Amino acid sequence: MDIRRVDADATAEERAAVDALLGAPRSSWDGGPRGNPRDAHVSTVGGEDSRATRHLLLPALQALQARVGWISKGGLGYICDRLNVPPADAWGVATFYALLATSPRPRRVVHICDDMACKCRGADAVTAALGSHLDLCVFDRNSTGTPGNVAVPSTSAVEKLSATQQSRCDPGVGCGAGWLRSPCLGKCDQAPAALVTIAGEHPREHLLGHVTADRVQTILDGGPLDEGPQLTAPRQPVSELRLLRRVSRVDPTSLDAYRASGGFAARDKALAMGAAAVIDEMTASGLMGRGGAAFPTGRKWLAVRRETATPHYLVCNADESEPGTFKDRILMEEDPFAIVEAMTIAAFATGCEKGFIYIRGEYPLAAARLRHAIDASRDAGLLGGFDIEIRRGGGAYICGEETAVFESIEGRRGEPRNKPPFPVHAGLFGKPTLVNNVETLANVPHIILDGAAAFAAVGTPQSTGTRLFCLSGNVRFPGVYEAPMGTTLRAVIDMAGGLNEGRTLRTVLLGGAAGTFVRPDELDLKLTHEDTRAAGTTLGSGVVMVVDDTVDPRDLVLRIARFFRDESCGQCVPCRVGTVRQEEALHRMAAGRPAGGLTTEIALLDEVGATMKDASICGLGQTAYAAIESAIKRLRLYDGAGV
């Protein structure tokens, strides 16, 4: 690919998919039929028009894939004509996102999670069983986002397939269904999980839990998509809940039901208080970001409010991709109107005119319910002069970084920006931008209604309020649990029923892949920012992944290393090279062949880890060694003295 026009034509189906999003072309200058004499003398698309539509590149690529299953050369060329984007530029974006395919792919695809939480619940057995008899339909997703080996069956191989599978085999593409391994899908409470995508005129997406090899086989054969067991109400009394009090108790699709449960009362109170008073209340509450960085929310809001450049933007960062994290999905699926209400309050207080919810591409139900909540709230006049647009991610963990999400929304590769300038000064489209996580925003209505003092009275002086914890792995009842900050790790695990009878705890992964492992003798650790920091660990995104004696922690360490290798955006050398060297060293150690001996290998890992931490542009590279270092030094997995 280069800057020349693509020498392939889009099919009628591909054109229809793109035109459904962008509208019909106005002239040959933006993809319309050639031959109009007027177009030879008058351009209907200028540079300003092109720059104004560049942000639609990722949605256009997603629309194309949703219709035909992959992005062909002709389809990509048509998008480039429509948006006036150089093909090389568009190709760089298309190959950045793992959910986009630039090689032929079946229309029906099952993405099976083989990440840590699903490994603990039998994912390896599922993929092993599928691999033994579905190898003709297997392909792998690699770090470039393209399928590895799309199986194109030979005549003799096709004869071995079922009649249903034979009917879907297409020369040059392979079988009409296939499966691939996937990183965490955010369905850890119902592990093992799978995401099913079915391309077509009416595309379908389903995020499934508790999958088995037989169930995947049925889906691949074109069988019905049984959604399986639905979410049950939290295993806690309503009196203990704030953020989860509506989950499975209030209809998430009904604005009337939301308002009957107190919804939008906080918005009305905030409008009466005034913007300055709202920010004062947020500051006094002591609320800190719940996405992992733990930045004081009130300070961020005030900084955006003070910026004179306009317009101001609000971004709800819902790209919840940290392995083991699924709390934001629960909030978006079960209480979407609360997120919309919180965004209207934040926009009012900070002077934001437009909002975006950037939600990970693997959350189809959450996206649908948020879209409905936005439309219903807009129709009821509850958004005022503020409006919200949903943008879906493309399968890139890095886009959870606050500046990478800007690049993605703007239609570029999701590569983090250097800071400063910080988002509050120059964020989305170069304007002052407020970025808050879903859980952070979900606290806003409660703070406004109950008051900052009531919120701060829960937890500790430095870590106020309640916190959502994602319990997964080898616990009896995986799920999201709400507990006051300062609750011990032991108590949180007990809320999820503890371990299965007869099992022994080996370790707990706290904070996700970017967090650390802790030992069984550290369960009395208080879950606050100050206590975890003093203990050399982190709350991160609220992950509490419990590992018992049925799982080898070394397998999880290798999966973490592979995860960071795959998810590194490759922009900076320390992370791009360091994540690869880190994984290589761990494989040598796992095989019992450390280079130069174990001491030398660990010293090399320490050096690589320190380089990534000190010199990487963003948090991905800076934390890529954290869990691995804790496994080596805290758990002592590799010297024979550990768990």
- Average of pLDDT values for 518-547? 97
Task: Name the residue among 384, 402, 527 with its Cα closest to residue 467.
Answer: 527
Domain boundary assignment for the chain: 12-94, 108-220, 238-456, 466-548, 553-633
Question: What pLDDT shows up at residue 146?
Answer: 34
| Predicted local confidence at residue 160, as pLDDT | 39
455: its two tokens: 């919120």
- What is the spatial distance between Cα 609 and Cα 137, in angstroms, rounded to a whole number? 38
- pLDDT tens digits, residue range 292-347? 888 999 999 999 999 999 999 999 999 999 999 999 999 999 999 999 999 999 99
| Span 223-242, pLDDT tens digits | 888 766 566 678 888 888 99
270-283 residue pLDDT tens: 999 999 999 999 99
Q: How far apart are CA 612 and CA 578, in angstroms?
A: 6
Residue 336's CB: how many other CB atoms inside 10 A?
25
Q: What is the pLDDT confidence band of residue 492, given thresholds at 50, 70 and 90?
A: very high
Comparing CA positions, the residue from 333, 342, 320, 359 lying closest to residue 470 is 320
Residue 354 CA to residue 371 CA, distance in Å, equals: 15
More confident residue, 96 or 138: 96
At residue 340, the 3 state secondary structure works out as helix
* Distance from C-alpha of 46 to C-alpha of 84, rounded to nearest angstrom: 9
Measure the CA–CA gap between 115 and 364, rounded to whole angstroms.
20
Could you give the angle at which helices 327-334 and 336-350 cross, rounded to 10 degrees? 100
93-102, 229-238, 456-465, 532-541: least confident range: 229-238
Cis amide prior to 311 (ω within 30 degrees): yes
Q: pLDDT digits over 20-29, tens only?
A: 999 998 877 7
The helix (H) or strand (E) run that includes residue 479 is strand 479-484
- Out of 1.20.1440.230, 3.40.50.10860, 3.40.50.720, 1.10.3720.10, which CATH number does the structure's domain 553-633 have? 1.20.1440.230
Give the mean pLDDT of 108-127: 96
pLDDT at 59 over 90: yes
Buried b (16+ CB within 10 A) or exposed e, 453-463: eebbebbbeeb
The answer, yes or no, to whether residue 136 has pLDDT greater than 90, is: no
Strand partners, 518: 508
CATH topology (fold) of 238-456: Rossmann fold (3.40.50)
pLDDT over 80 (residue 475): yes
Q: In what order do the strands lie in the sheet with 387-392?
A: 387-392, 352-359, 312-318, 433-437
CA 182 to mean position of chain CA atoms: 12
Measured in degrees and rounded to the nearest 5, phi and psi for residue 366 equal -60, -40
Question: Which fold, 466-548?
Answer: Ubiquitin-like (UB roll) (3.10.20)
Give pTM, 2 decimals. 0.92
**CA-to-CA separations, 595 to 62, 498, 565, 576, in angstroms, rounded:** 44, 40, 20, 21
Whole-number average pLDDT of the chain: 90
Q: What is the pLDDT, as a whole number, of residue 19?
A: 96
Query: Mean per-residue pLDDT for 122-149?
Result: 59
pLDDT at 51: 76
* CA angle (481, 486, 491) in 5-degree steps: 50
Q: Comparing 147 with 187, which gets the higher pLDDT? A: 187
Q: Which amino acid is at 206?
A: H
Number of CB atoms found within 10 A of residue 92's CB? 13
377 DSSP 8-state letter: H
Q: Are the C-beta atoms of 354 and 346 separated by less than 8 Å?
A: no
pLDDT of residue 587: 96
Cα separation, 342 vs 345, in Å, equals 5
CATH 2.60.40 fits 108-220, yes or no: no
The pairing of strands 516-518 and 505-510 is antiparallel
Give tens-digit pLDDT for 169-204: 444 444 579 999 999 999 999 999 999 999 999 999
Query: Is the bond preceding residue 420 a cis peptide, omega within 30 degrees?
Result: yes
Residue whose pair of structure tokens reads 């499934």 in the numeric block: 208
User: Can you tell me the distance from the alpha carbon of 62 to that of 358, in angstroms, rounded to the nearest whole number?
Assistant: 14
What number of residues does the chain have? 643
Q: Which amino acid is at 550?
A: T
- E strand or H helix at 548: strand 543-548
